[in-house]
Structure 1
Amino acid sequence: MFQYVNIRVIRVIHFGNYLRKFITTSGLQKYSNSSQNEQTTLDISNNDKQDMPNIKSRDMNYWTQHETDILKNAVFKHGNKWTYITKEYFKSSRKPETLCQKWKTIRLSESRPSYYNRWSAEEIKLLINGVEKYGVGNWTEISKLIKTKDSYQIQKKWKQVSKKKSGKWTKEEDSLLLKLIAEYGGKWNIISDFIDRPYNSCQTRYQTLSSKPWTPEENSKLRDAILKYNHDWDKIMKNFPDRTLYEIKKYYWNNPKANPNANTGRWKAEEVKKFWEAFEIYGKKWINISKDVGTRTPKQCHMFFRTREYTNEIGSQ
């Protein structure tokens, strides 16, 4: 049995040697002849191409507006007969499955028109309000405010908005801001790109530059509105058609006389206790501290902290 196996192994080895010899002689010669024939065919094809009219090559993945319009008209007439449409309307330059996929994209863009488009001023405003309300990172909650964008788009846009320059405005920036507003009106997304400042920063700065001093009558009206509506700003704003929400809130938080719940005298022991308890929780977030204290505005809380801080510095010297 072992002798039989050895003979078979020897025969396989001899056959392998014969096969290698065949490949290195006649096999390679045939391959060489075949390559020459292919080269000749290729040369003939190239000669034929020279006689053909020049046709601009284009990226088959890119759709022109003309092609998109053709597809819309074809689908309107023939429905989803993709094989027929590709032959009759696109001369087979687009595959049926490509037409089908493109049509799905068109329908999606039309059902949510601003999904693929540039962010509008209103959408950016909703984004900023959402971040102020829910905080950075709560993109799912914020996306509920912006129906035309998903959470990924919102997160990406916020990175762009928050990366822009911050800090004190220069006179040159103020001058440029006023010129841009005269030219573009309230298109804050365009103005923001020009000045390289966040959308809300441009809007707030303009409100500061253009705001009028508050009159005693307005102060009394705001105080009465707070007593009646508490912090229902939508209702309060109806009493001030010439003021923005930002102006009203800013004046309210910074002026104790406009706040019927705010004390203007010396801080009481109970107020001081509430202040430091809130400070342990919120740090220097004066609006939050003001809400916990209940009888002091954010500005009063800030000034109280600065006074205590200054007193401690003097005492340590």
Structure 2
Amino acid sequence: MEKDITQVLQYNRELQANLQKKIAAVEAAIARNINLQNKLRRLKKSQVSTETKTRDFGPPFFVDIDGNTPPKNDDIHLRDRPKKFKPIKWIQQEKESLTQGVYDQNLRRECIKAMQSGQLLDTVLEKDSQYFLMNVEGLNWCELSKQYVQNKTPEECIIQWTTHEHPSINKSEWTAAETRKLRQIASRHNNRNWQRIAMELNTNRTAADCFKQWNKQTSGPRKWTKEEDEILARAVDLYGEKNWQQIAGCLENRSGQQCLHRWTKTMNPAIRRGRWKTEEDEALKNAVNMYGVGNWVKIQKFVLGRTDVQCRERWMNVLSPTVKKDPWTEEEDKELKRLVGLIGVGKWSKISAEMNGRTDNQCWRRYKVLMKQDDEGESIMNTPSSENEGEKNMNR
């Protein structure tokens, strides 16, 4: 009898121990559930705070729950028409806010799905953060723009996310092999249908990125024709030297930047050509002392009629105190030939950097002289008279 009572007590103790373990597990689950509920409340609170946000009692007077207003009539369209359209770039803070908005919306939706299906929220929170950035289906872009990027429209948010910020977009540098493949695919499609071309390329590039890369590879610099120069001169006379986009509209396939560069560097009749005067050299020296070497755009304003390129060439090749003007020595000639053989013909900037005090222009001109001397020396050695003299010397 005593043995049975002892055995029953032992069983009772084991059951109590197991029960305590179960109670501890339940209490831990309750604590975890409370923590998750608090997170959900904070997410819901951030959503409600924007929806119940008070607004000023002024126009527009009628706004629906998504922030949409009634369509404007013709008078309002005319009044609100902007005089000039100036696109505003996305700043880094706005991009980060947009990313946070997409993340929060996808996280909230996944948590609601888990609760409705009876799953633990731990399974949602354990997922990688990238998971909540991939989905774009069903996102409330109106809410997202109001809550996270208030100075951007829902349409702007959609375009920015799907064409620039989505994590699946390949933002790395284009490789040579990828560019070759792009040109082959584009050629098969007659350089059209860039959405299809991007899909066949299969490197996670957008259609816009593919078109930009193709255009960059196929459109090299095009020389200005005499007719284009004449049109440019008339357009500048008509619109002035500031409205370069309007001027570019007068020419076919020329940008405002190209027109500006062509006019200021070449076409402007105020540009002085020919020899530099003493007064110009003095003005250039004073401007360099004021702004330092390299600020040629500012410097050229103090040398009337000279471009920034002319000022740079004059200083670097003539006026700079580091320029060596002494006759070339035999050692310098040997070093110049050695560097040309090592670096290559035409790389005069790199070669001049190794020649103490000699400019790229000096190196180029000196190399032409040396090559001419070598050619003349070879021609003299190969003349019949020189061959006869050599035979006479041998006979002696």
TM over 0.5: no
Q: Point out the structure with the larger helix share.
A: 1
More relative contact order in 1 or in 2 (CA 8 Å, sep 6+)?
Answer: 1
TM-score tier (shorter): 0.3 to 0.5
**TM-score normalised by length of structure 1:** 0.43
**TM-score normalised by length of structure 2:** 0.36
